[in-house]
Structure formats: C-alpha cells, structure tokens
Structure 1
Amino acid sequence: MKKKNVFMYLLKWYAVILIVGITIFGAFVSYFIYERDQKNAQTAANQSAGHVADIISGKNSKLELITRDLLSNQAKVDSMHRFFEMNSEDYLNYSLHAEASTEYNYLPLRLREIYYGDETVQSIAISLVDEKQVLYSNLANKNGYLVDTVPQEENGVRLQKNLLNPATLEKMGDFYLTLRSKEFKETLSTYGEDLPVSLYILTEQGNLVFDYQMDSKDESKEVLEAELPKGTSKALETLHKDYFVKHVTLSNGYQVVTLISNHNVWFSMQNSLIFLWVGVILLDSLLIWALYKIFSKYNRQVKGILYSVEDVSNGKLHARIDESSKEGELYAISHGVNAMLDSINQYIKDIYELEIAQKDANMRALQSQINPHFLYNTLEYIRMYAVSLEADELADVVYAFAALLRNNIAQEKTTTVAAELDFCEKYFYLYQMRYPDRLAYSFLVADEVKNVQIPKFIIQPLLENYFVHGVDYTRIDNAGSLKAYLEKDEVVIVVKDNGMGMPIEKMSELQEELLKDNSLIEGKSIGIKNVNERMRGFFGSRYHMNMMRNETGGVTIEIRFPFNKQRGEF
C-alpha cells in the first residue's frame, strides 16, 4: 500500500505542476494584454492630440495669411473702415470707385473667397478698436453684416488673430475665424475606433473653447471645468488619475487636451481577459478531469498487480495477474510478472534478465549507427518530398538547414570568402523564414576576393550578434547587408545593419578593447572579440576591425586585411 500512495502522490503533484504552469502562463498573457492596451490607449491619445494640433496649426497659418492680405496696404485698411461706416449701397459704390482708381478691394468678396478656399470655415468676425459694432459672417450670410457683439459659437473652434495697421503696426482690431467641428470629430473617430476619445481645446488663458466626447457617459468635462480655475496644470494632474492624458501647447497659445478613460480601457480588456481565463479554466478543468481518469485507471490496474503479488507472497502460487485489464507499460509489467511466476527457476530468471540486457545492447548498437550521413540523407529526403508537394519554401528551408549542418560538422579550419558569405546567407535566410515580413538582407561579394582564404566562422558570429541584440521584431524594416570587395590592395568585409544600435560610449569602449593584444580577457561581447582574436592570429598585425554607428542608427563592422595579387589571396 505504501508504494501505491507514493505513486498517487507523484501523479497528483504532476497535475498540480501542469495546472500551475497553465495558470502562470495565463497570468503572463493577461499582463501582456494589459500592457498592450495601456500602450494602445496612450498612443491613441497622443496621435489624436497631435493630429488636432496639426489641424489647428495649419488653420492658424492660414489665418496669418488672411489677416496679412486683408491689411496689406492702406487702401485695404480704408476699405475695412468704410464697411463699418457706410451702408451696403454706399460701400459698394465706394468699392467700385476704388477699383477704377487704385485696387478693387470689396470686403464681402474677400470674405466669400475665404469660405470658398476652406470648406471647414464656419463663421468669420472682425472687430475694430474704434468701431462699436462687429462684422459677422457665417455660412448663411457670407457677405457679412454688423452686429453689436461677436456671437458665441457652440459647435465650432474659434481662432483669433490681432489686426495690425501696416503703416503704424498698431493693433487696430481682432479677426475671428471659427472652424467647423466636423473635421475634429472625424479625427477622433479615426483614433477612437476602439477606445472613445474626448477632446478639449483651451485658450492660452485656460478658457475652454471647444469640447467633444465620443462617450456620452464621459464625465471628464465636469472634472475639467471644476479644476480649470485652479490652473491647467492642476486640472491635468487631476485628470491623470482616471484618464490617459495628452496635452499639446500650440505656438498661438492654444492648448489641445485628449483623454481616454481608464474605465473604457479596462472595459476593452474584459473581452480578451474573459476569453483568456475562460480558456484557462476550461483547460485546467479538462486537465484535472483527464488526469483524474488516467490516475484512477492506473490506480485500479496497479492495485490489481499488487493484490496478485501479495497473494503469491502469501503462498498462493497459482495466482496470476489479469492481463486483459492492463494497458501499456502496466501490461508489460503484468506479463513479465506472470512469466516469472510461471517458473520460479533462477535460471529462467537469469535468462530473462540477460534478454533485457541484450535488447539494451542492440538498441545502443543501432543508435551508434546513426551518423551524419544518415541525417543528410534524411534531410534530403524531406527536401525532395517537399519539392514533390510543390512546397518550395519548405524545401529551400530544409536545404539551407542541411547546408548549415554540413558546414558545422566539416572539420576544415579555413574557408573562402565566397563560401563563408554563402554560409551566412543561408543563416540569414533561415531567420528570414521565421520572420518573413520583418527581415531583409543583401549579400554581395566581388569576384576578385571570392577565393581569398579566411578562418571559418568569422562572419556568422557578427550576424548572430545582430539578431540577438540589434533586431527590433516589432518593426517591419529590419535589414542587414554584407559586402566583400577589394580596395587599394586590401580585402574589405563590411557587415551593416539598421538595428537598435549600440550606445556610443559602449562602442568606443569595445573598439578600444579590440585594439588590445588579448581582448578576450574582458568577459563582455565574447562573439566579436573571438572573431577579432582569430583573425588577428590568422593575419597578424596586418588585420584591422573597426566598429561604427551608421546613418540608420545601426552598427557597421568593417574588417580589412592585405590582398596578395599574385595568388589572389592574402
């Protein structure tokens, strides 16, 4: 019974380990989902704020041009004053007379041109310092008319620009340009497709001039209005507690604030997390049920064996194990026990043990016959089978892997530049197959250096260093290149990438270590230092390795050694 308890104890711990492992995996995936959604939320807030800021900046630049054009000379200044002082008929006569004498500058026409030139304009207002009334124009009346004050615009973004007298450069009034909210709402719809975004536009003084919430339940406006009297910084600090916030200040003093609620982010996570943890729970439940069934079945079979053995030990020599209810290794155990019980003769027992030992020896003998040629032939068979199925990409991968394996097992200590680059190209190709949309490469070798002898495996560690430390697998434009050519009686091998690069301080430190006689003393960058020492041992003082930061921010490694013209080698 003691053995049975140990057996069940081990099996139960096996189940616990599997369940804990799956649960930990679920926790890691949940954390990844959390980090991803947090990052996506902040990115959406940043991008939407940036886009809105670009729109306002562009409109503000247009506003600058419009105000300059309206007051580019004294005749236009006089025309603007006449609009406020005359009725429509008199002002029209004045403008027609001005056209004949100097330059036609009919202000209503200028206003209409602004609307025709930019369909996002909702209204225009002009106020002059020495005039009591205000010129107001909107889509319903583009020519404009005089009102007592500048009307409030509830559904638009109003930009303001000072009007300066071109002769004195003194302020003579203000120009107001109100933009439709449609363009801002469409921008938020683009970035807030998954997470609703709220937009607020403030003046330099912190006054709220426009707000829009994609989520009707969003209460950020109330919080912002309550905190703004304490200052914009204080309001943003308060909003940071419950929102992802992006704040952009424009050159004209306007401020753009975009918000995404933490609650909405958590809500968007729920579907993924619920699906994940339902799957984890179902998998755990299925595993527990399956292990329970397997353990129970094993337990019954083991108990049957133990009971039969106990009967024999109690003197019931005719007792046998029921083999019909046993499976797998338990069947083999039962059969073996029954075989031993059929003859207690020690000689048969010895023969049985000898047969087992002989089987082990035969297995070891068969295993020892598996040699590299068998592996090559097997890989070639797989490649040809893939070709027959028109799986050309799989065939290429198997061929490249077989070539790498053959090159690794080969005993030669040196190789040619062409062979080494061919080996590295296959190595890069296998990585590209793993990440087909994220890696690209270019390998070029000049004819005159193809047969130059170099130590084996001097370039592959440099490429491996790029894959381990330089590749950013979140990008789709990772690229590496390898060139070998002749330059002024020197063979030049250049390994270049556009990866994440290396800090300049670290690169300078590594470059200094490569110049030392034994750079392997230090324990860092072993791969590069190993290549450096092997090349120095092969070529002596004539060899040089240089590392530098290239224009893409990646690393360029340049290897140089002399070229022998007579023999086409170093």
Structure 2
Amino acid sequence: MIKNILEQLRNKVFNKILFMSSLTIIVTMLTLLFTITHYYSEVIVQKEMDSNMRTLERVESYINRKKDFTDNAFKELYTSGDLILDISYALQHDYDDYLEYRLNKYSDSSSFVASNIDNFFYAYFSQDNHINAISLRSVEGIPEYLYVFNHFRWKNSLLQPELESEEAFYTDNILKIQNKKRDSNRELRNTVVFKRTLNDPVSLTKLGEIRIYYSLEGIEDLISLRNTASEGTYYIVDKDGEMVFQSHEKNDQGLIKSLDFKSATQEVQWKNETYHINTLASEENGYLFVGSVPESEIEKLTVIRGSMLLLTCIFALTAILITFFAMKSYSKRIQTIETSIHQVKEGNLSVRIPHDHKYDELSTISQSFNNMLQDLNKYIDEVYIMNIKQREAEMKALQSQINPHFLYNTLEAIRMKAIIEGSKTTSTMIYTLGQLFRYSLDDRQLVTIQSEIEHVKQYINLVQSRYPNRLQLDIDIPNDYLNRSILKFILQPIAENYMIHGFRNDTNVNQLTIRLVEENHYLYLYLIDNGTGISAARLREVQNNLEGEPVDSNSIGLKNIHHRIRLKYGKGCGLEINSVEDKGTTVVIKIPANGGDSLV
C-alpha cells in the first residue's frame, strides 16, 4: 500500500513541481543566507579592523606630538647659550660644585631670573602633565639628575623600585635625585622614553644625554575612546622587540614579537586561534604599533547569523506552504479534467467539465474541452450529410472529366468540316487552338523548356493567322538547355501580354525574341519585344504589383507567374520588368540553374 502511495506521488506532476519548488526555495534561501552572513562577517571584520587602525593612527599621532614637544625642548636648550653651559658644567662636576657655580653665576648676572636647569625644566616640561620624569646624566652615568614630576606614576612605572638617597630633595614641588652611582638603564612599564644626546657646543664632545619619560595614560585614554564593538588589545613594541605598552595583560607577547616591523593588515594563527592584526610601523620613532582582535571576539558580534538562519527557515517554510496550498487547488482542477478525459476515452461524449468561474489556462482548457465535445457530437450528427455531399462531388468530378473530351471531339469535327469546305486557314487555327487547350489542361507542374517554347510557338502561330506577315518570333536558346525543367505556363502569358498591350497594328516589323543565358548558377530567360513599351509611371505600378502591393487587374497574369516562381524556387528568383515607352519591353525570368534538371 505504501509502495502504491509513493508511486502515485511520483506520478503526480504537481507533487513533482512541489518537490522541485521546495528544493529550489531551500537551496536559494541557504545560498542567500550563506552569502549574506559571509558578506556581513566580512563587513564586521573590516569595520573592526578599520576602527582598530584609526586607533593606532591616533596613538602614533600622540607619540609624534610627544616627540615634537621633546625636539622643541632640545632645540631651545641649544639656542640658550647660558643654559647649555649650565648643563655642561653640571654634567662634568659633582652637585656641590654645580651649586657653587650657579650661585656665582647668579650673583654676576644682572637678571632677577636665574638661567639654569631647574628653571628651564620646570618652566617647559610642566606644561605636559603626561611627563613622569626627566633624567639628565653624564656619559659615565655619574652624576645623574633625575627630575620626577609625578612621583606616584613614576614609582608605578618602575619594575624594580629604586631607593631615594640622602641626596634626593624637592625644589618647586619637583623631586630631584642625584645618584652617585646608577645603572645605565631602568626597567619601566607603560612608559615611552625619548633620548637626546648632549654635546659640548664648543668641542662637540659628548657630555651625556637627556631622557624624557612619558606616561602612556594618554594612550589608554585614546584607546578608551575607540568606536568599536570588539575590545581588542593594543601594543607598542620597539625595534628590539621589547614590549613598551600593552593595553591588557595577556600572555601573547610571543605572537606580537613574531610580527615583522612593517605596516600591514593580516591574519595570524597562534595557539589554535586566529587573530586579525593591524600593524603600523613608525621608522621615525622606532616603534611598531599593533592592534590585535581575536576571531572569537568578532564571532560574538555575528550573533545575527542565528537570527538570520531562523528567519530563513520561517520564510522557506512559509513559501513552501503557500506553494502547497496553491498547487493543491490546481491539482483538484487538473484531476477533474483528467477524470473527464478518461470518461471520453471510454465513450461517454456527454460529459462536461464544470465551469469554475476562474480565468486562467485551466479554465481555457476546460472550456476548449467542452467546446470540442460539443463540436464532436455535432460532427458525428453531420457525418452522413458529409458522405452524401462527398458522393455528389465525386459525381461532378467524373462529369468534369467528360467535358474536355467533348470539347476536343467538337473542335476536331469543326476542323474536318473546314477541310472538307476547303478552308485550310480555319482548319489550322482550330487545330492550333485544340493543341493550346490540351496543353493548358495538362496537370503537370513542370515541363521542359522545349515544351514551353512549342506552346509559345503555337500561340504565335494562332496570332499570325490573324496578322499575317506582321509578327516575327526569334528563339535564341542553346540545344543543351531545351531538356531542362521549367514551371509550366510562364512564357505564353508574357507573350500574350505583349500581344494585348504592346503589339503595333500599323507596322510589319513587330518582333518577339526569347533568349536564355546562364550566369552565376542562374538561368535568365529574356522575352524582348519592340512594342509600344510602358510609361515610367505605369511601369512603377506594375513593378509594385509584383512585390505584393494592390493587384492591378491588367497585370494579374504577370503577378501570378512571379509568385509561382518564388513559391517554387525562393525569393531570389522571379520576374523583372524593364521598359521604355515607344521602344519596347524586356521581361526577365530568373530561376536556379540547378533547379532546371533535364526531364528526359
């Protein structure tokens, strides 16, 4: 039973259509879902990476501003001669000697403002609240003057706290430390250091260097202003691969240190995780700015995939249900039509499909089916009348076959009477007329060129009996072409047309020439006369009539010939008429040479 049901389902065309449409809807929806989600994911990733890059650009701009600030301070040191001399003395002597030097210098100066390191550093660098400290040290590292502007941040930036000696003191709220002995480098975190070398302005020998320690709290503020949904992590790495800044404490230094020092956007696989990374290299500052977003964070932003999948399923199910109920209605109507057809097959011609008041193809089929049965019943009722009429037509056909024989016999009797009475001319004319009539009643479509020429000759002979010595017929056709096939009755009507419209009764030099020429795989039959010709206006009318415009009763014979030739050989063939008034007319018949095979 189940097998029969499945077989019926397979045989129902609407079930097949429903299956194919459902499959098409599902495949289309899934393809659309995949395309949209894939595109949406790429847009999300691109949007996050663009926002990430803009944050890196702001961080780079922040570092550049700090660098420019440092460079301007360094230039101002050198532009002030007293200040560079003060720094030079401080770096080459201990602190006590330097204080004595400053006092002597101030006492000798006429200015109320002393030009020394303390005043310069306080006046210039206090403008930037992101500076933690400034270090001024000699080449050997002794002495070192450390100016701490933000004691709390400075202590937090040191990885290993350093002790303040008894030589640490405050001046103008700035902590200054002079260490007798100091390592060349401090280990710091979240600090950007700008180093500048100090040279003696006279001897250009290296005196020491200035180091300015900037807190990266400003960078953290910039990162917090980012317009992005993912959190991500931002890094600053120097050319040696050392981590200068990290926005979040993560154990991914190995990933960052493996990056090349260049600006790029890339995907990196590290520890079974995909990272979308922007790198911005600053050759001028010697820093690589890195923005990293793991794939897992971006996937959290694409939760819309689940919603889109649910909507896709709902839309697909809705479309399938709509298709099912629509097809169910059509299926019932098709079933009704199918049942009616089976009843007709069994011989019930009185069945009719109920009219459903719907205007579609099925309604048209139903109406046509009902009309067909109605007409069929009508034709069955009339079949006997049709048989009777057919028998009558057969009788008339037999009768029509008798009439030509009666005409031939009558003409022959008249001809014999004329011979007996000695009228040879009348006898010849009757004989020629009989031959013309016999040729016209022949039901062959194709004849030889020779037969068609003979028919023209017989017609001309009949005309010459009426106009003796006034008409000459010239035939210029090679013997090789006489057995070629040609459509019957295409030459004599043209000759007859000449006799009716172009023959001159007042002259004895009337001439009709029939010539055949083969050229470019076509046969050209020329019928040339020296008759009255056709005026230009009348010639245009005749030519237009040949091409299907309104038929003139005077040229219907030419039109008939033209169309018969075209029906037989195609549009490239037919008649062409040229004429000059009072000089004559030329009619050209064009037929294919290969269509003129021999009939003998």
C-alpha displacement of 1:138? 1.6
- Aligned-partner residue type, residue 170 of structure 1: T
Which residue in 2 is equivalent to 1:417?
none
Q: 1: CA distance between counterparts of 2:223 and 2:348?
A: 86
Instruction: Return the match for 1:314 from 310, 322, 346.
Output: 346
Q: Deviations over 1:352-377 (max 9, x none)?
A: xxxxxxxxxxxxxxxxxxxxxxxxxx
Name 1:330's counterpart in structure 2: 362
Conserved? CA contact 2:58–2:222, under 8 Å: yes
The equivalent of 1:508 in structure 2 is none
Contact 2:349 / 2:377 at 8 angstroms: preserved in 1?
A: no
User: Which one of the candidate residues 106, 120, 123 is aligned to 1:113?
Assistant: 123
How many Å apart are 1:223 and its aligned residue? Answer: 2.4
| 1:146 equivalent in alignment to 2:177 | yes
Distance, in Å, in 1 between the alignment partners of 2:244 and 2:100 is 37
Q: Would you say the 8 A contact 2:14–2:327 is kept in 1?
A: no
2:253 equivalent to 1:224: yes
2:244 alignment partner in structure 1:
209
Sort the Cα spacing of 1:89 and 1:173 in 2 relative to 1 into closer, same or farther, 3 A: closer
Q: Which residue of 23, 27, 31 maps to 1:16? A: 23
- Is this contact kept in 2: 1:111–1:142, CA < 8 A? no
Choose from 119, 135, 147 the match for 1:136: 147
Pair 1:25 & 2:32 matched:
yes
Instruction: State the number of aligned residues.
Output: 342
Picking from 262, 275, 283, the partner of 1:250 is 283
Counterpart in the other structure of 2:463: none
User: What is the DSSP-based 3-state SS (H/G/I as helix, E as strand, rest coil) of the residue aligned with 1:255?
Assistant: strand
Determine which structure has more spread, i.e. the larger CA radius of gyration: 2
- Asked if the contact 2:193/2:211 (under 8 Å) is kept, the reply is yes
Q: Of 82, 102, 107, which residue of structure 2 is paired with 1:97?
A: 107
**1:305·1:321 contact (CA, 8 Å) conserved in 2?**
yes
Greater helix share, structure number: 1
User: Unpaired segments of 5 or more residues in structure 2?
Assistant: 1-7, 152-171, 382-600
The aligned residue for residue 49 of structure 1 is 56
For the residues of structure 1 that align with 2:133 and 2:72, how far apart are their CA atoms? 17
1:200 CA displacement: 1.5
Aligned residue type for 1:199? Y
Corresponding residue of 1:67? 74
Distance apart, 1:56 and its partner CA = 1.4
2:320 aligned partner: 288
Structure 2 residue 210 is matched with structure 1 residue 196: no
Q: Deviations over 1:126-166 (max 9, x none)?
A: 33335244413223575331054577654443333223332
One-letter code aligned to 1:138: F
Report the Cα offset of residue 225 of structure 1.
4.6
How far apart, CA to CA, are the structure 2 residues paired with 1:96 and 1:186? 43
Equivalence for 2:210:
175
Distance of 2:380 and 2:130 partners within structure 1: 101
Counterpart Cα distance in 2 of 1:194 and 1:41: 7
Structure 1 unaligned segments of length 5 or more: list them.
214-218, 350-570
Q: For residue 231 of structure 2, give the secondary structure of its aligned residue in structure 1.
A: coil
For residue 377 of structure 2, what is the amino acid of its counterpart? N
SS at match of 2:281: strand
Q: Which moved more, 1:241-250 or 1:340-349?
A: 340-349
C-alpha separation between the residues in 2 aligned to 1:2 and 1:75? 105
Which of 187, 191, 203 does residue 222 from structure 2 map onto?
187
Q: 1:113 to 1:288 in 2, by over 3 A?
A: farther
After superposition, residues 390-469 of structure 1 pair within 5 angstroms as none
Deviation at 1:248, TM superposition (A): 0.7
Taking the aligned partners of 2:267 and 2:375, their CA distance within structure 1 comes to 89
- Residue 46 of structure 1 aligns to which amino acid in structure 2? M
Q: What is the CA deviation profile of residues 18-52 of structure 1, one whole-angstrom value per residue up to 9, with x for unaligned ones? A: 43233323333233223333433443343333332
Is the CA contact (8 Å cut-off) linking 1:8 and 1:299 kept in structure 2? no
Q: Please state how far the C-alpha of 1:208 moved relative to its aligned partner.
A: 1.4
Task: Deviation per CA, 1:241-293: give whole Å up to 9, x if none.
Answer: 5232314133132332222223323332x234334333333222222222222
Aligned CA distance change for structure 1 residues 206 and 339 (closer, same or farther; 3 Å): same
- Separation in 2 of the partners of 1:144 and 1:169? 30
Tell me the SS of whatever aligns to 2:204: coil
Can you list the C-alpha shifts for 1:295-314, whole angstroms capped at 9, x where unaligned? 23322332233223323433
Question: Any conservation in 1 of the 2:25–2:320 contact (CA below 8 Å)?
Answer: no
**Correspondence for 1:300:** 332
> 1:224 Cα shift?
1.8
Structure-1 residue corresponding to 2:308: 276
The amino acid of 1:125's aligned partner reads: S
Change in 2 beyond 3 A, CA 1:189/1:137: same
**C-alpha contact 1:53 1:248 (8 A) present in aligned 2:** no
What's the TM-score, normalizing by structure 1?
A: 0.50
Residue matched to 1:164: 199
- Distance in 2 separating the partners of 1:46 and 1:54: 12
Residue number in structure 2 paired with 1:39: 46
- CA distance in 2 between partners of 1:3 and 1:271 (Å): 41
Q: Distance in 1 between matches of 2:108 and 2:148?
A: 23
3-state SS, counterpart of residue 280 of structure 1: helix
Confirm or deny: 8 A CA contact 1:164 1:172 kept in the other structure: yes
Q: Deviations over 1:402-429 (max 9, x none)?
A: xxxxxxxxxxxxxxxxxxxxxxxxxxxx
For 1:118, the aligned partner's letter is D
Structure 2 length normalisation: TM-score?
Answer: 0.48
The correspondence for 2:300, drawn from 259, 267, 271, is 267
Is 1:76 equivalent to 2:83 in the alignment?
A: yes
SS at match of 1:200: strand
RMSD over aligned CA atoms reads: 4.2
Which stretch has the larger CA shift, 283-292 or 191-200? 191-200
Amino acid at match of 1:168: S
The answer (yes or no) to whether the contact 1:74–1:167 under 8 Å persists in 2 is no
